[in-house]
Amino acid sequence: MKKFLQRFYIILILLFLYVPILVLIVQSFNAGKSRAKWEGLSFVWYEELFKSSAIMDALKVTVTIALLAAVISTVLGTLAAIGIYAMKKRPQALMMTLTNIPMTMPDIVTGISLMLLYLFFRVDRGYWTMLLAHITFDIPYVILSVMPKLKQMNKFSYEAALDLGCTPGQALRKVILPAVKPGVVTGAMLAFTLSLDDFTISYFTTSPLVQNLSTLIYSQARKGIKPTLNALSALMFITLLVLLLIVNRRTADNHPVKS
């Protein structure tokens, strides 16, 4: 009985989480445009999806920004974590506080503060300003993923490598980087997904001429979303799901998936 109740409750909660997504995926195969009426199975929205230049442009912007932001923030963030970890106590505390600011600030305030930065310095908002904003909110997550790995490491192995004749560069490559690699990978994945899904900060840091998927969806939300966008998100969802399954299979015994 207890087991049944437990399962029943979990299934109810999962249903709550998945019903809208299932609805969305089903709609993408609906021949008609109506959200509520089923008019037969069709792939017409998938065909239209690849013909729509607005969506394809937005997809390009979203993916390239997510990739670039993930790579740049991973490099900067990993270096920063190594540097901050080696700092003396006071500057270290200061840097960690500054790192925590963007994470505790509501997205909308982060977005607006960056918008004010661009407006203040009369920088035209567009692709590059959005990229800079994405890197800015990604870096703290990379630092916070790498930091615990540095703390787990033996404090003296870096110095030992230097004593044994490594140059600092070699010690970095051969001692520190292998030890923090799992944290770097987690950070990079986190940065990529956060950037892929971001709406609020992108909304304030780009112009209506350069849209990513989220801002495109937003601009269409009031007029009524076309099923083409459902088709696209269904495709992206399934791609990510398959990627996760592959990654999970390959690293099943390494470490569990981190949110």
Report which of 187, 210, 174, 226 is spatially closest to residue 73, judged by C-alpha positions.
187
Any idea how long the chain is?
259
- Does position 76 interact with other proteins (CB under 8 A)? The reply is yes
- Does position 67 interact with other proteins (CB under 8 A)? The reply is no
Among 169, 208, 250, 253, the residue binding other proteins under the rule CB under 8 A is 169
Min CB(122)–other proteins separation in Å: 6
Min CB(19)–other proteins separation in Å: 7
Question: Which 8-state DSSP code applies to residue 94?
Answer: H
Q: Which of these segments, 39-47, 49-57, 63-71, 108-116, binds other proteins (CB under 8 A)?
A: 108-116
Can you tell me which residue has the tokens 């939300």?
Answer: 221
Measured CA to CA, the distance from residue 187 to residue 137 in angstroms comes to 12
Min CB(170)–other proteins separation in Å: 11
Q: Which of these segments, 39-47, 51-59, 109-117, 177-185, binds other proteins (CB under 8 A)?
A: 109-117
Q: Which of these segments, 2-10, 39-47, 48-56, 177-185, binds other proteins (CB under 8 A)?
A: 2-10
- Does position 101 interact with other proteins (CB under 8 A)? The reply is yes
Min CB(185)–other proteins separation in Å: 16
- Does position 18 interact with other proteins (CB under 8 A)? The reply is yes
In sequence order, what are the beta bridge partners of 41? 30
For residue 223, give the H/E element and its range.
Answer: none
Q: Which of these segments, 40-48, 53-61, 63-71, 135-143, binds other proteins (CB under 8 A)?
A: 135-143
Nearer to other proteins, 51 or 222 (CB): 222
What would the two tokens of residue 236 be?
Answer: 């992206």
- Total residues contacting other proteins by CB under 8 A comes to 84
- Does position 206 interact with other proteins (CB under 8 A)? The reply is no
Min CB(50)–other proteins separation in Å: 18
- Does position 237 interact with other proteins (CB under 8 A)? The reply is yes
- Does position 193 interact with other proteins (CB under 8 A)? The reply is yes
Residues 160, 99 contacting (CB under 8 angstroms): no
Measured CA to CA, the distance from residue 133 to residue 200 in angstroms comes to 11
Residues 135, 72 contacting (CB under 8 angstroms): yes
Measured CA to CA, the distance from residue 107 to residue 74 in angstroms comes to 20
Helix axes 227-250, 213-221, angle to 10 degrees: 150
Q: Which of residues 211-230 bind other proteins (CB under 8 A)?
A: 213-214, 217-218, 221-222, 225, 229-230
Measured CA to CA, the distance from residue 239 to residue 227 in angstroms comes to 18
- Give the SS3 label for residue 136: helix
Give the number of C-alpha atoms closer than 13 A to the C-alpha of residue 16, restricted to the C-beta side. 6
- Does position 9 interact with other proteins (CB under 8 A)? The reply is yes
